[in-house]
Amino acid sequence: MSREAVVAFVGLGGNLGDAAGCLITAMSELDRLAGTRVTGRSCLYRSAPHEASGPDFINAVVKITTRLSAPDLLVALQHMELAAGRVRPYPNAPRTLDLDLLLYGSARVDSPQLTLPHPRMMERAFVLVPLAEIAPDRVDAALLEVLHGQEISVFHDLGT
């Protein structure tokens, strides 16, 4: 793999089964992807479903360096979701694992398969709060203030 390494951020979430355990496992699996290393990870956060249904979500964000292209990374994330039992019976259904490619370097992509930066990340406290924890330079503090009405709290500190 001769591609230059890129810093990317992946949002993780789930609200079925052992969501916290599933997210921790997914973090380890991300670190084992070809040409990819997890270089930062947020705490696990609990949040009420936002534009979704079911029980509360557990969410986190990881920072990775990867030599995978953005489309190849997206495919790997989707395979991880399927392996974790993710099904998509309807939009925003409860899920065992949801992995979103939030940022991929400074890339801007708008294709049917992938949009970067993630098109709704700036509307979601469950993305921006953990992202701000590990990459405060990527999140405008004023934007966090706008989202303060979306309930989110630390569920588990991973000690990083």
Residues 6+ apart with CB under 8 A from 7: 39, 63, 64, 65, 105
* Token digits of residue 146: 């706008």
By annotation, the residues acting in catalysis are 86, 95, 98, 100
SS3 6: strand
Strands (E) located in 15-141:
36-41, 44-47, 57-66, 98-104, 109-110, 115-116
Position 77: which residue type? L
Terminal-residue alpha carbon distance, the chain: 29
User: How many helices (DSSP H) and strands (DSSP E) are in the chain?
Assistant: 4, 8
